[in-house]
């Protein structure tokens, strides 16, 4: 089975990169718009005089700041991801079998050999991070190494290598910037709100004009903080939706890639079933500890196991799952295996 370039994935990656680059700029200018409309009206109401000025933030000032955020994400995103799951890079002497498999599979598709990191978590899973294909790191958990047999482990490593070959790892790393930015702004707005309400207790004895001034200040700060929280939530949801939609397609592409690399689609199907069954038996607390905000990167989904008996509370209509269903992925892999078998028989008959 020959490796085939996935043009659909490449187009989605390019579109995602464009959206990821534009959304932080749009976020900043949305906040500026609110300042120049609601904000100035609030100031006019609070001070009983018109405010005719307006906040102007030139694009040349915004772009370097946003670019700086991406540079920080580029430089430290991989390190933060490894730290969030307690993974460390291991040498070939420590994990010779896994290193040997990775090297052999990479040679088959003429791809750079990724670094290998191991998390001591008992949750069986794997993911890949990296700034570029030549600097990718495949992360496997101890639970995965102990749960899967050799054939299944090879299929999972091929799946992760397919992400490297497809060059979709970088965009997933960058895609975390906007959620991080909006989260930071939202936290700042939350603490502002908390500070305002805490400070209200200090103005019990204020009356007359002073009381009116305090009320005006409180209203301005509260409305500003609430609007900031709302805008942050809106952009966070948009980036989260984009992130998950891209994640689903890239998983299908990596499944096909793994089948191309190993020539054994059923091995990955078996691995996915084993991972799914193993994780369904684990406590939700163990899965939450392994999350670290990286749920969309794993080879097998963990988000569907984090809500106990109330998993229906996670609405797939609002936020699609990070992964296609395991049953659907297995069905597609079985169809690939049938196609391979038919092709092999046809070649033998010829």
* Residue in 78, 152, 154, 160 annotated catalytic: 160
Q: Which residue has the tokens 């793994």?
A: 258
160 labelled catalytic: yes
In 135-174, which positions are buried (b, 16+ CB within 10 angstroms) versus exposed (e)? ebbbbbbebbbebbeeebbbbbbbbbbbbbbbebbbbbbb
What tokens appear for 275 in the block? 């991972």
Cβ–Cβ < 8 Å for 163, 250: yes
| C-alpha 198 chain-centroid distance | 35
Cβ–Cβ < 8 Å for 233, 28: no
C-alpha distance from residue 65 to each of 17, 20, 59, 181 (Å): 17, 15, 10, 11
* Distance between CA atoms of residues 246 and 190, nearest Å: 30
Q: Roughly what angle, to the nearest 10 degrees, separates helices 209-262 and 177-199?
A: 160
Handedness of CA 88, 94, 98, 99 (dihedral sign): positive
Catalytically active residues are 160
């Amino acid at each position: 089975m020959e490796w085939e370039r996935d043009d659909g994935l490449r187009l989605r990656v390019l579109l995602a990169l464009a959206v990821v680059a534009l959304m932080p700029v749009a976020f900043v200018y949305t906040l500026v718009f609110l300042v120049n409309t609601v904000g100035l009206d609030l100031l006019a109401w609070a001070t009983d005089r018109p405010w005719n000025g307006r906040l102007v933030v030139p694009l040349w000032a915004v772009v370097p700041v946003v670019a700086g955020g991406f540079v920080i994400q580029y430089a430290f995103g991989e390190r933060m991801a490894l730290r969030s799951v307690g993974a460390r890079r291991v040498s070939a002497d420590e994990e010779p079998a896994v290193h040997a498999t990775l090297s052999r599979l990479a040679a088959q598709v003429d791809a750079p050999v990724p670094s290998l990191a191991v998390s001591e978590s008992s949750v069986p899973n794997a993911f890949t991070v990296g700034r570029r294909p030549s600097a990718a790191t495949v992360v496997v958990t101890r639970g995965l190494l102990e749960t899967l047999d050799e054939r299944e482990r090879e299929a999972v490593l091929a799946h992760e290598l397919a992400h490297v070959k497809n060059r979709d790892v970088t965009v997933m790393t960058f895609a975390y910037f906007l959620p991080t930015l909006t989260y930071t702004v939202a936290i700042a707005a939350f603490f502002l709100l908390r500070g305002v309400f805490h400070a209200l207790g200090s103005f019990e004895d204020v009356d007359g004009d002073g009381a009116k001034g305090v009320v005006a200040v409180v209203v301005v700060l509260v409305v500003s903080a609430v609007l900031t929280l709302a805008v942050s939530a809106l952009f966070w949801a948009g980036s989260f939706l984009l992130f998950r939609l891209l994640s689903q397609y890239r998983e299908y592409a990596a499944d096909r890639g793994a089948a191309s690399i190993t020539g054994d689609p059923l091995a990955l199907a078996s691995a996915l079933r084993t991972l799914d069954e193993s994780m369904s038996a684990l406590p939700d607390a163990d899965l939450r500890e392994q999350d670290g905000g990286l749920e969309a990167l794993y080879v097998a989904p963990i988000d569907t196991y984090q809500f106990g008996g109330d998993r229906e509370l996670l609405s797939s209509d609002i936020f699609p799952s990070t992964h296609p269903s395991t049953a659907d992925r297995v069905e597609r892999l079985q169809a690939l295996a049938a196609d391979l078998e038919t092709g092999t028989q046809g070649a033998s008959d010829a």
